[in-house]
C-alpha cells in the first residue's frame, strides 16, 4: 500500500473516531487535542507522508475502534506500526522512518 493511500485511509479512520483534521503549514510536529469540546488533529502539510502516517497511527493506537470497520490491509499496517511504537517514546514516533510495502 502506498504511503499516500494509507494516509488517506488513516485520515478517514481518525475522522470516524470523532476527530476533525486540520492541515496547516508551519514548524510544528502535529498532534491531537480537545479545543472547545471538539476533538482536533492538526497535521503539518510540510511533513512527509510517512511522518503524518506515524502521527495518525499513534492517535488511533489507544482509541476504541471496535465499532469502526478497518480494511484488512490497513489493519495489518496499523498493527505493524503499533508494534514498532512499543520500542519508541511518543516524541520519536513521528520521526521514524516508516517503510510501507
Question: CA-to-CA distance for 71 and 84, rounded, in angstroms?
Answer: 20
Residue 57 lies in a domain: yes
pLDDT for the residue 99: 58
Q: 18 is in which domain, residue-wise? A: 3-93
Residue 101 lies in a domain: no
**Considering Cα of 86, then 91, then 92, then 98, what sign does the dihedral take?**
positive
Average of per-residue pLDDT across 85-95? 62
Residue 9 lies in a domain: yes
pTM above 0.75, yes or no: yes
For the chain, what is the domain count?
Answer: 1
Residue 88 CA from chain centroid, whole number: 15
Give the model confidence (pLDDT) of 38-88 as tens digits.
999 999 999 999 889 999 999 999 888 989 999 999 999 999 999 888 877
Question: CA-to-CA distance for 1 and 7, rounded, in angstroms?
Answer: 10
Amino acid at each position: 500500500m502506498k504511503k499516500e493511500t494509507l494516509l488517506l485511509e488513516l485520515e478517514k479512520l481518525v475522522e470516524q473516531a470523532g476527530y476533525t483534521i486540520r492541515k496547516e503549514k508551519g514548524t510544528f510536529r502535529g498532534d491531537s487535542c480537545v479545543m472547545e469540546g471538539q476533538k482536533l488533529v492538526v497535521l503539518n502539510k510540510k511533513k512527509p507522508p510517512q511522518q503524518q502516517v506515524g502521527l495518525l497511527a499513534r492517535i488511533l493506537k489507544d482509541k476504541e475502534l471496535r465499532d469502526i470497520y478497518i480494511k484488512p490491509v490497513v489493519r495489518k499496517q496499523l498493527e505493524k506500526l503499533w508494534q514498532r511504537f512499543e520500542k519508541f517514546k511518543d516524541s520519536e514516533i513521528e520521526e521514524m522512518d516508516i517503510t510501507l510495502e
